[in-house]
């Protein structure tokens, strides 16, 4: 790999020998003191955010995570050469990067999405609310646009209140098991909450067991989708001194 090639940066790691399975894919280190950028050579044209490119980025970062502690960089960070990589990322942030690598030496991220069985939760809302049940019955007896709109608004209000209550309960139950929680946008129909959890790696199984127990406790059951352990994508923001 030429030292003057443009370099795509995946993240920051401790300075050490790159394992063979990554080296075979063209991965190398650009070091500064005890920290190093994990890079590959790339063409000079801009890196486009295609699905294939995004998956390739994640694959390298997550392979590195299996090997060592990594501070992930956002997708698409490219510098013209090693000197620019050191000047923009490593040299001005060396102390901070060493501290972050120490902090995340035993952490992992878990991505959690919770969603309702929508038919079940709507049926329970009607059972629990005489007002909502009455509105639905009157709409069934004589449907009209006005009654339909009123029923939809009332149902949405009850569902939002239920979602807020269940989301708070999930967060309260998870807090003792996590180091940090980031709340994201709920982007699926019937969604309750979308969370990024920073945990100690040796507590991942404990989190999984708690979610199974919590799913049984919540009525109707909430479905949890847990992905991980992952590198701490949501909890690391590596500073860049100049535009990539």
Looking at the structure, do residues 218 and 135 belong to the same domain, yes or no?
yes
Least confident of 129-133, 171-175, 207-211, 219-223: 219-223
Task: Answer whether residue 1 shows pLDDT above 50.
Answer: no
Predicted confidence at residue 72, as pLDDT, reads 96
Query: Structural domain tally of the chain?
Result: 2
Looking at the structure, do residues 97 and 152 belong to the same domain, yes or no?
no
Tell me which residue range forms the domain holding 121. Answer: 108-233
Looking at the structure, do residues 81 and 166 belong to the same domain, yes or no?
no
Of 82, 105, 128, the domain-final residue: 105
What separation, in Å, do the N-terminal and C-terminal C-alpha atoms of the chain show? 20
Residue 192: which H helix or E strand, with range? strand 191-200
Condensed to tens digits (0 to 9), the pLDDT of residues 22-70 reads 999 999 999 999 999 999 998 765 567 788 888 989 999 999 999 999 9
Looking at the structure, do residues 125 and 98 belong to the same domain, yes or no?
no
Residue of 145, 140, 136, 183 whose CA lies nearest to 164: 183
Looking at the structure, do residues 66 and 182 belong to the same domain, yes or no?
no
pLDDT-above-70 percentage for the chain: 94
Looking at the structure, do residues 62 and 169 belong to the same domain, yes or no?
no
Predicted confidence at residue 217, as pLDDT, reads 79
Q: What is the mean pLDDT of residues 210-235?
A: 87
Task: Answer whether residue 92 shows pLDDT above 80.
Answer: yes
Compute the distance between CA of residue 100 and CA of residue 7 in angstroms, rounded to an integer: 23
Condensed to tens digits (0 to 9), the pLDDT of residues 109-167 reads 999 999 888 888 888 888 888 888 888 888 788 888 888 888 788 888 888 888 888 89
Looking at the structure, do residues 153 and 215 belong to the same domain, yes or no?
yes
Compute the distance between CA of residue 21 and CA of residue 108 in angstroms, rounded to an integer: 22
Predicted confidence at residue 132, as pLDDT, reads 83
Q: What b-and-e string marks burial along 6-42, b requiring 16 or more CB atoms within 10 Å of the CB?
A: bbbbbbbbbeeebeeebeeeebbbbbbeebbbbbbeb
Looking at the structure, do residues 21 and 35 belong to the same domain, yes or no?
yes
- Mean pLDDT rounded to a whole number for the chain: 88
Of 74, 89, 105, the domain-final residue: 105
Task: Answer whether residue 99 shows pLDDT above 90.
Answer: yes
Looking at the structure, do residues 13 and 95 belong to the same domain, yes or no?
yes
CA atoms within 13 A on the CB side of 143: 3
Condensed to tens digits (0 to 9), the pLDDT of residues 137-150 reads 887 888 888 888 88
Task: Answer whether residue 244 shows pLDDT above 50.
Answer: no
Compute the distance between CA of residue 176 and CA of residue 165 in angstroms, rounded to an integer: 18
| Contact call for residues 100 and 27 (beta carbons, < 8 A) | no
Looking at the structure, do residues 134 and 190 belong to the same domain, yes or no?
yes
């Amino acid at each position: 790999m030429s030292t003057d090639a443009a370099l795509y940066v995946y993240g920051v790691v401790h300075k050490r020998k790159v394992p063979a399975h990554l080296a075979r894919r063209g991965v190398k280190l650009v070091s500064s003191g005890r920290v190093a950028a994990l890079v590959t050579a790339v063409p000079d044209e801009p890196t486009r955010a295609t699905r294939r490119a995004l998956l390739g980025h994640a694959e390298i970062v997550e392979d590195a995570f299996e090997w060592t502690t990594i501070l992930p960089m956002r997708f698409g960070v490219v510098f013209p050469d090693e000197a620019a990589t050191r000047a923009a990322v490593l040299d001005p942030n060396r102390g901070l990067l060493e501290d972050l690598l120490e902090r995340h030496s035993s952490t992992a991220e878990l991505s959690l999405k919770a969603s309702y069985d929508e038919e079940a939760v709507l049926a329970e809302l009607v059972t629990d609310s005489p007002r909502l049940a009455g509105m639905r019955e009157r709409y069934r007896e004589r449907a009209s646009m006005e009654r339909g709109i009123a029923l939809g608004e009332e149902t949405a209000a009850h569902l939002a209140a239920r979602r807020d209550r269940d989301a708070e309960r999930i967060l309260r139950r998870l807090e003792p098991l996590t180091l940090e929680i980031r709340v994201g946008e709920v982007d699926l129909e019937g969604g309750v909450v979308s969370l990024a959890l920073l945990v100690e790696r040796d507590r991942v199984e404990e989190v999984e067991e708690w979610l199974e127990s919590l799913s049984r406790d919540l009525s109707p059951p909430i479905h949890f989708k847990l992905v991980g352990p992952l590198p701490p994508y949501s909890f690391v923001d590596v500073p860049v001194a100049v535009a990539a």
